Amino acid sequence: MVRIETRRLILRPPELADFDAWAIMEADETVKANTGDVQDRRESWSQLLAIAGHWNIMGWGSLCAIEKETGRFVGRFGPSKPFGWPCIEVGWMLLPEFQGRGLALEGAVAAMDFALLQLGEPRVIHTIRPANAASQKLAARLGSKNLGPIVLPPPYEAVPNDEWSQTRAEWDVSRVGLQAG
């Protein structure tokens, strides 16, 4: 079982105990404002099971983030590869009470390491809506570059997104810069 520890977080595959907090996160309009539609509990349940299934079939998938100090569910971090995506995406989503504390950067760095170093992916992307300034700032801090608009497969083809990306070689340089900063 994958378990990644950072200074303040534990990242691991989803568990049944994550569901209530997961559903709250997916139903929060402020969280979903720039990432997709608000989900009801049934949709959240299906999504959580899909990610658990991804782990079962592919051997990897999105990670739930747990705060070490409290044991509370914080959010989730990529990697994921939805059907038709051009490559693995490293994404992030946090409950509002955990935003603004540097946890997104901490978890995203761990997820980038997992995708690029452990899984050996040659490149990752972040699909970010043009209005999502916070995610754009985080992607830039990670060292990813905005490659411009990306057309995603159905049913997302009409949703404007930009493709932010970096290669494993670029991550090697970006990560050193993050450690120095």
Q: Indicate the number of domains in the chain.
A: 1
The whole-number pLDDT of residue 180 equals: 66
Here the tokens at position 49 are 């099971």
Task: Please give the radius of gyration of the chain, using alpha carbons only, rounded to the nearest integer.
Answer: 15
pTM of the prediction? 0.95
The whole-number pLDDT of residue 38 equals: 83
Burial 51-85 (b: 16+ CB within 10 A, else e): bbebbeeeebbbbbbbbeeeeebbbbbbbbbeeee
The CATH code of the domain that includes 135 is: 3.40.630.30
The whole-number pLDDT of residue 35 equals: 75
Task: Kindly give the confidence (pLDDT) of every residue in the chain, 181 residues in length, as a single tens digit, with 9 standing for 90 and above.
Answer: 899 999 999 999 999 999 999 999 999 988 887 777 789 999 999 999 999 999 999 999 999 999 999 999 999 999 999 999 999 999 999 999 999 999 999 999 999 999 999 999 999 999 999 999 999 999 999 999 999 999 999 988 999 999 999 999 999 999 988 876 6
Q: How far apart are CA 51 and CA 47, in angstroms?
A: 6
Burial 8-22 (b: 16+ CB within 10 A, else e): bbbbbbbeeebbebb
**By residue range, what is the domain housing residue 56?**
4-180
